[in-house]
Structure 1
């Protein structure tokens, strides 16, 4: 069934004017001018085809038609408020759904989420492997992507855009290539893989050397599982924490984003 267009702003003005029986006091409540209140009331009367107020010697009065719709209108506004509260309930939710590359989750994100849960033991975390999953379909709070900027989304970089050439101490001089690796121009890789995570696994298996985002390689370097052959050096891409703008208005989203960016600074 086609819904009737509701002039919600004018109805809100009507509610305020009906409670105060004064355009001036209604204007004060709504932070507009009395003239704006009068304009909205006239527009609403034109829309409804009826008169809502009359002026008498005692001041402003509701007409019978205006009074007849007032209780239902106020009940409707209460329902609107309940609806908004229900939609905002997700902001207070303790459940996070995060999309992240598998190896980045294992090497960098998981330890920091563990620390976050120590401070917030009631939260639940659901991790989606495909960092390019649709936000709406996957009901994502965040996605972490290796990109050169946020693009159409809003986001924060989880660390500096830095890269490093790594290999195991006993690895051959063969190169491991992957999408967006940006290997030196004179290099022909002996092994081609699809992702930075697969390149990391290949290097840790001793298959050769590769270029990795520093954040992805940090843990392996710290444990001497890999050695830095060259670098770190500046890079074009970094790991970004991304979400559509409305997501960033949620307290839970801001809380985790603040934690992850602070954790990277310490």
Structure 2
């Protein structure tokens, strides 16, 4: 059944004017001018084909037609408020479904999610592995991508777009050292049979730490390994076209719970 178009703003003005029996006081409540209230009432009367107020020596009075519709209207506004609260309650949920590469979770994301949960004990996580961010089928709240940008999604960059070249602790660069390649490393593009290839940047770090060669990995992942003395940096970080991005479709991005977690993850 086709729904009747409801002039909701005019109905809200009518409700205020009916409660105050004064266009001036209704205008004060709604932060508009009395003239704007009068205009909305006249437009509503034209749409409904009835007179809602009559002026008397004592001031404004509601007509019988206005009285007949006032209680159902106010009940309707209460239902609207309940609907809004129900939708907000869903957004205020403390459950997060997050997709992130496993190596990124282990080296960077995991400790920060733990810190967020320590400050918010009611939080629950569902964590998915991988960069295939399908927000439709997985009902994700957030995803982490190693990419040149957020693409069609809303996003914020984590850290700087930079990479470190690293090798085993205590080692220096060796011209004969094997390059450890992984998907997402520009050096891997066009190499058909690399001497050593691994699944991700985390495995590349582990391989370098084991003395298997030199890896070029995202700075965000390498920093904790360097600080712990597990790998040795070679030179300075180099600029990268790619970076880690926190991404989500715009509707998810507006959720209070998503804003809170993103603020935490990008605060340091």
TM-score by length of 2: 0.83
* Partner SS, residue 133 of structure 2: coil
Shift of 1:72: 0.6
Residues 215-226 of structure 1 aligned to structure 2 (within 5 Å): 215-226=220-231
Identify the residue that residue 216 of structure 2 maps to in structure 1. 211
* Partner SS, residue 236 of structure 1: coil
Shift of 1:107: 1.5
Identify the residue that residue 240 of structure 1 maps to in structure 2. 245
Gaps of 5+ in 1: none
- Greater shift, 183-192 or 215-224, is seen at 183-192
Distance between the aligned counterparts of 2:84 and 2:17, measured in 1?
24
- For residues 33-75 of structure 1, what are the alpha-carbon distances to aligned partners after superposition, in whole Å with 9 as ceiling and x for unaligned? 2222222222222222222222222222211111111101100
Residue 20 of structure 2 is aligned to residue 20 of structure 1: yes
Residues 173-192 of structure 1 aligned to structure 2 (within 5 Å): 173-183=177-187, 189-191=194-196
Distance between the aligned counterparts of 1:42 and 1:134, measured in 2?
50
Identify the residue that residue 162 of structure 2 maps to in structure 1. 162
Distance between the aligned counterparts of 1:187 and 1:134, measured in 2?
29
Residue 264 of structure 2 is aligned to residue 253 of structure 1: no
State whether residues 15 and 74 of structure 1, in contact with CA within 8 Å, keep that contact through their aligned partners in structure 2: yes
Shift of 1:243: 2.9
State whether residues 155 and 240 of structure 1, in contact with CA within 8 Å, keep that contact through their aligned partners in structure 2: yes
- For residues 138-195 of structure 1, what are the alpha-carbon distances to aligned partners after superposition, in whole Å with 9 as ceiling and x for unaligned? 3322222223334444433221222012344689733344444222999884455665
* Partner SS, residue 237 of structure 2: strand
Shift of 1:213: 0.5
Residue 36 of structure 2 is aligned to residue 36 of structure 1: yes
Identify the residue that residue 46 of structure 1 maps to in structure 2. 46
RMSD of equivalent CA atoms: 3.0
Q: 1:228 aligns with which of 226, 233, 239?
A: 233
How many aligned residue pairs are there? Answer: 263
Gaps of 5+ in 2: none
Residue 66 of structure 2 is aligned to residue 61 of structure 1: no
- Greater shift, 200-209 or 9-18, is seen at 200-209
* Partner SS, residue 135 of structure 1: coil
Identify the residue that residue 9 of structure 2 maps to in structure 1. 9
Distance between the aligned counterparts of 2:95 and 2:146, measured in 1?
24
* Partner SS, residue 211 of structure 1: strand
* Partner SS, residue 186 of structure 2: coil
State whether residues 145 and 247 of structure 2, in contact with CA within 8 Å, keep that contact through their aligned partners in structure 1: yes
